[in-house]
């Protein structure tokens, strides 16, 4: 159990989510046809750069699963989220890296994006992951490939993803359907 685990009521979690959703709606910048034609990119940089907005997102995510051993954030915006939530919960944080960014040995998983394919990696040694309870964080849930691949990495090494959370969920892409048995929390659903 994390050092600062606190059980919150459903109302308290709902209030945190509403506050975070308001900050995300107010501060997100949208870019059409980026990085490729037909993709609408959500730039969350202004949310994270705003002290109150960032704190609202971190507090919301920290309330998702307080009884975890490790917070894991997906490359690259998930690193920011993971560090903030881990500091709040009193746990460690693990960066889930894009393929080729970690020295071997690594555990790797390929997946499909809405505009291509990629791979994710975690260390195969140096960090004891077997039996750990993981809170998995990412910025956007689109087609679901990234989050599912990240969760698959932890399953492969004997860890358990107990919950996942994202800032934005693009519901029309049905990414939630590709997730495992863990609950997925979205601050904003589009």
What CA–CA distance (Å, rounded) separates 168 from 106? 29
Q: Which residues of 162-171 are buried (b: 16+ CB within 10 A; e: fewer)?
A: bbbbbbbbbe
Among 91, 85, 70, 155, smallest CA distance to 120 is for 155
Closest CA to 82 of 63, 103, 96, 98: 96
| 77 part of the active site | yes
Q: Which of 8, 15, 114, 156 is catalytic?
A: 114
Select which of 77, 97, 109, 133 is catalytic.
77
The yes-or-no answer on residue 114 being catalytic is yes
Phi-psi domain of 128 (left: phi exceeds 0; alpha: psi -120 through 50; beta: other): beta
> Which are the catalytic amino acids?
77, 114
């Amino acid at each position: 159990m994390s050092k600062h685990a606190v059980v919150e009521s459903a109302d308290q979690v709902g209030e945190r989510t509403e506050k975070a959703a308001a900050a995300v709606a107010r501060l997100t910048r949208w870019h059409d046809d980026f990085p490729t034609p037909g993709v609408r990119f959500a730039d969350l940089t202004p949310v994270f750069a705003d002290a109150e907005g960032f704190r609202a997102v971190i507090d919301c995510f920290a309330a998702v699963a307080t009884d975890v051993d490790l917070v894991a954030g997906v490359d690259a915006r998930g690193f920011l989220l993971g560090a903030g939530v881990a500091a709040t919960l009193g746990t460690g944080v693990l960066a889930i890296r894009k393929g080729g960014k970690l020295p071997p040995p690594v555990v790797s998983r390929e997946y499909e994006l809405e505009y291509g394919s990629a791979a994710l990696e975690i260390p195969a040694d140096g960090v004891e992951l077997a039996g750990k309870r993981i809170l998995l964080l990412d910025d956007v849930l689109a087609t679901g490939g990234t989050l599912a691949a990240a969760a698959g990495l932890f399953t492969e090494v004997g860890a358990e993803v107990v919950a996942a959370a994202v800032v934005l969920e693009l519901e029309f892409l049905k990414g939630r359907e590709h997730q495992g048995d863990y609950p997925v929390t979205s601050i904003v659903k589009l």
